[in-house]
Amino acid sequence: MKNILTILLIAFTIGLSAQNYVEHKVQPGETIETIAKKYLVTPFDIYALNPDAKKKFQPNTVLIIPNSKIKNEPIVKNSRELTGYKTHKVKRKETLYSLTKKYGISEEELKKANRRLYSENLIKGDKIKIPQFRTVTSKRTLNNTVKKYTVAPKEGKWRIAYKFGISVAELEALNPNMNETIQPGDVLNVPNIKDQEEKTIETSFGYYEVLPKETFYGLKGKLNLTQEQLEQLNPELKTTGLKAGMVLKVPESSATTIASTGIVDVETTNLRRNLTNFKTKKIALMMPYQLHKIDVDSVEEAKDRIKNNKLLSIVLDFHVGVLMALDSAKQLGISTDLKVFDTRYHAAITSKILAENDFSDYDAVIGPMEEESFDRVASALKSDRIPVIAAMNKPKQVYSNVFQTLPEDKLLRKTMIDFVKADSLKTKVVIISDRANKAESEALQKEFPGSKLILSRLDKKNKTKDAFFLYHTELQNVFTAGKTIVFLETDNDSFASSVISMLNGFNVNKTEIVLATLDKGKAFEGKNIDNYNLSNLKFHYASVYKDFDESKNNGFVKAYRKEYGVTPSKYAARGFDITLDILMRLASAENLYEASSDTVETEYVENKFRYTSDFFGGYVNQAVYVVKYDDLRVVKAN
């Protein structure tokens, strides 16, 4: 019997060779779609010769791949090939942006060559590697089992991909010269399947392309459809499961918020509707209380220390917010086992805590605040996949188990730029900058063609030194009737103060000046900054948090005022928001990872959270506000 099978196998292999087929051994991580792209065939071609691949697809499986005689015109493709690196010594004022322009590379290419730049800033004197590339031009011929298809009215890429059971990326691979937006009458290459195998396009439905790593849980938050509902509309899901690139049929109401690259905006997710996991949540809170410095026998001394020690005041405010979140969660049926650890703001003490306690069964660890301590905790708990929450700081490294609650600065800047670009009522953009922020301001000017850039004056004696001032006459003829958005980019509070004062003087009659900045640092919080001027200029900036809405009945604020007689600080609100968000997510899924898809955006008192997986596998909050000064309060800008 064995000999007969061997003979049949040899005969089959010879037959394949005669028909111009090739064999492919599946490698770990490969999918039918990636293999199809590699050989420039469609998944249907592979399934036709390998019907078992639909049910059994795993590494080391040998597939038969067809090599059709149908050919399209050769595709000319330019690619960049890494040839080596050169060393660059960072000079004063050089930035990632200026280096990418100098060497003709992207910021991502520069960071890949210098991994620490994902978490650290450039410093004068640093020696970094500059990747060197060469352009390689190649031609390839697209071999495929295809036929021609004429685009009908109201058909887009998604609908055609759905009709022929391929992804949009595969449709684009079959049609390298296809326009970004296809038009009725366009002739496209599509899989040569039988007419009865084509799916019917129903105009009453919408169509959605599954993104990489998307789950049924994530799609429920995005499309408001359960797994059962999706399978009812797309029966093939029951056998294939979700795969990146596949196009799903969804109700028109679910598709209205979806654009070609995903959803236009993520709606706030109400996790109260999804609470299913009511097991007691085990949470660790690591904060630098520094209790060893407090004389517990002296109440007055303890009060004095809290009053005069800013760090301790912040920590205690955050702690109160955490406790109030636990109480709110309890009212929803979520019980918590909280254990508090005093890290004393010392890495050695943190290491001792790790050595003396077993955290392998914890649902999450909040803190520590100190960078080195946080890094030790995240690194130590990574193997057990215990989520570690960076609540008040940006970690040195975003490990796979780290949840960074503070968004990256570049996201804040991009959010502010996009906000201004979306303002259809703006008439003019003016950028005022000190010399230290010149490069960033020049890059900002490119975002707004026609904008005016005004730089601070140089010192009369030392022409290389910034004098941090402008003449009043330099702004006199800049502002006309109508709306002007002014970006002020500076780290100097005296320069900020003088410019804000001058702008307020020009903000009269029919001239409307709206002040904005990409980086609201300490310069806008100096003692000489007049908040009345900021309110008058409707000062806008991107922020991690906003002031709570006084017009809404807020249980946390009400309870805090009742207990302590004052309005909660932003640290108390942050402690409440972060902790309640963690508990709500844990109660809506098996763990924090499953509950943190990028389609789940939550909002509480002053903070909101939407996590996406970082380059190294951790999670970084992508939810930010654009806020403005309004009647001396910081409120969400519309």
Measure the CA–CA gap between 624 and 610, rounded to whole angstroms. 9
Percentage above 70 pLDDT, the chain: 86
Domain boundary among 543, 567, 582: 543
Q: Apex CA 111: angle with CA 108 and CA 115, to 5°?
A: 140
pLDDT the model gives residue 143: 45
Residue 475 CB partners (closer than 8 Å, separation 6+): 454, 502, 503, 506
Q: What's the mean pLDDT when you consider all of the chain?
A: 84
> Where in the sequence is the domain holding 16, given as residue range(s)?
2-65
Domain boundary among 33, 65, 97: 65
Domain total in the chain: 4
| CATH number, position 443 | 3.40.50
Q: Per the domain annotation, does 151 fall within a domain?
A: no
Higher pLDDT, 384 or 119: 384
Supply φ then ψ for residue 145, to 5 degrees. Answer: -90, 90
Q: Per the domain annotation, does 552 fall within a domain?
A: no
Q: Per the domain annotation, does 567 fall within a domain?
A: yes
pLDDT the model gives residue 201: 77
Residue found under tokens 């036709």:
48
Same domain, 423 and 536: yes
Find the mean pLDDT for residues 333-353: 95
pLDDT the model gives residue 426: 65
Find the mean pLDDT for residues 324-353: 95
What is the DSSP-derived secondary structure letter of residue 524? G
Q: Per the domain annotation, does 176 fall within a domain?
A: no
pLDDT the model gives residue 249: 86
> Residue 583 is which amino acid?
L
Measure the CA–CA gap between 243 and 259, rounded to whole angstroms. 19
Find the mean pLDDT for residues 182-201: 79
pLDDT the model gives residue 2: 41
Same domain, 311 and 366: yes
Tell me the whole-structure pTM to 2 decimals. 0.59
Measure the CA–CA gap between 21 and 64, rounded to whole angstroms. 7
Strands (E), 427-553: 428-433, 452-455, 482-489, 511-516, 540-543
DSSP H/E element including 522: none
Q: Per the domain annotation, does 572 fall within a domain?
A: yes
Same domain, 567 and 583: yes
Same domain, 421 and 397: no
Does the pLDDT value for residue 15 go beyond 50?
no
Find the mean pLDDT for residues 330-342: 95
CA distances from 1 to 8, 493, 615, 623 (A): 11, 88, 53, 65
Find the mean pLDDT for residues 499-522: 92
Measure the CA–CA gap between 280 and 274, rounded to whole angstroms. 17
Residue 173: name the closest of 184, 189, 186, 160 by CA.
189
Q: Per the domain annotation, does 457 fall within a domain?
A: yes
| CATH number, position 59 | 3.10.350.10
Q: Helices (DSSP H) in 385-458: which residue ranges?
A: 409-421, 438-447
Residue 295: name the closest of 286, 306, 285, 284 by CA.
306
Does the pLDDT value for residue 8 go beyond 50?
no
Measure the CA–CA gap between 90 and 120, rounded to whole angstroms. 14
Same domain, 337 and 436: no
Cβ atoms within 10 Å of 51's Cβ, excluding its own: 9
Does the pLDDT value for residue 497 go beyond 90?
yes
Same domain, 93 and 134: yes
Same domain, 420 and 525: yes
Residue 395 CB partners (closer than 8 Å, separation 6+): 119, 371, 374, 375, 378, 402, 404
Domain boundary among 121, 140, 159: 140
Does the pLDDT value for residue 101 go beyond 80?
yes
Residue 535: name the closest of 513, 567, 511 by CA.
513
pLDDT the model gives residue 525: 86
Packing angle of the helix pair 409-421, 438-447 (nearest 10 deg):
40
Q: Per the domain annotation, does 163 fall within a domain?
A: no
Same domain, 366 and 436: no
Measure the CA–CA gap between 408 and 422, rounded to whole angstroms. 21
Same domain, 428 and 536: yes
pLDDT the model gives residue 430: 96
| CATH number, position 565 | 3.40.50.2300
pLDDT the model gives residue 146: 73
Same domain, 528 and 565: no
Q: How many CA atoms lie within 13 A of 537 on its CB side?
A: 29
Burial of 207 (0-12, 13-18, 19+ CB in 10 A): buried
Measure the CA–CA gap between 295 and 301, rounded to whole angstroms. 7
270-279, 370-379, 409-418 — most confident range: 370-379
Q: Per the domain annotation, does 342 fall within a domain?
A: yes
What is the DSSP-derived secondary structure letter of residue 363? S
Same domain, 452 and 500: yes
Taking the CA atoms of residue 302, residue 307, residue 312 and residue 313 in that order, the dihedral angle to the nearest 10 degrees is 130
Residue 478: name the closest of 439, 507, 441, 443 by CA.
507
Among the listed ranges 183-192, 368-377, 509-518, 623-632, which one has the minimum average pLDDT value? 183-192
> Residue 261 is which amino acid?
T
Measure the CA–CA gap between 436 and 440, rounded to whole angstroms. 9
Same domain, 485 and 572: no
Find the mean pLDDT for residues 438-448: 92
pLDDT the model gives residue 153: 79
